[in-house]
Amino acid sequence: MFRAIASRIKQGHRTTPYPAAPLQMPERFRGYPLVSPANEASEATCPYGAYSKESGGCLDMGKCLFCAECPVGTIQFTTDYQLAVTNRDHLLVHPGSEHHHARPLPPDLRRLFGRSLKFREVSAGGCNACEADTNVLSTIGWDLGRFGIQFVASPRHADGLWVTGPVTEHMAKALLTTYEAIPDPKIVVACGACAINGGPYIDTPQVCNGVDSIVPVDLYIPGCPPHPATILDGLLRILNKIKG
């Protein structure tokens, strides 16, 4: 027992101080993209159609897998992990465009969910990468529960729906049923490129190309998979616990 106590004291506090202190991401981390003017090579190179030369060049972060297959010099990925937005159009990045962040929920919803926000998660045909990085937030390193945010087993106990995966045909009904089972008012989070736009499976006959083809979405978290910091940043912003 004494050894366990001594070991615990030696280990110290392991939970990240975010958002009290900013996170330092490694140089190799691919975060918010800076887009150069239109380039035909980039449009042809992108394997998932995330880049378009129209309107002077545009990268859709909702489609982007951050694979870095785009030609050098066309798109530069920064280490900025603050990618989540509340408007789907804000995932479209143009040369020199404003960096949008997730906006706070309306005041009445923040009063309801500000201290306690419970999600029911639906894995709608994903590969489990987004699920894994979501689960990481419940570990000691992130301690999601300190913000009053938890995942529950029953939609009847939930305040919102958390969706991962491209929403396959076989999961569309289950997703809608779960959504309808959650009491109003409720929110919906699309976590990952698949949930936002179908990911690498976009436009295949077996998928519905994302969540908002079935139910309305309140928070989009891009990435393949999104980094836990990106997920946490989006959640805290809609609760107005991060400003600016």
Q: What is the pLDDT of residues 119-156, one digit of tens each?
A: 999 999 999 999 999 999 999 999 999 999 999 999 99
pLDDT digits (tens, 9 = 90+) for 84-109: 999 999 999 999 899 999 999 999 99
Helix ranges (DSSP H) in the chain:
2-11, 40-45, 107-113, 129-136, 169-181, 193-197, 228-238
pLDDT digits (tens, 9 = 90+) for 40-79: 656 777 888 888 887 678 899 999 999 988 877 788 999 9
Q: Sorting pLDDT into bands at 50, 70 and 90, what band is 15?
A: confident
CB 191 within 8 A of CB 221: yes
N- to C-terminal Cα separation, the chain = 46
Any domain includes 15: no
Any domain includes 78: no
Any domain includes 23: no
pLDDT digits (tens, 9 = 90+) for 156-207: 999 999 999 999 999 999 999 999 999 999 999 999 999 999 999 999 999 9
Any domain includes 164: yes
Domain of residue 226 covers 107-239
Any domain includes 198: yes
Any domain includes 148: yes
Domains: count for the chain? 1
CATH assignment at residue 124: 3.40.50.12280
Any domain includes 89: no
pTM higher than 0.85 for the full model? yes
Any domain includes 92: no
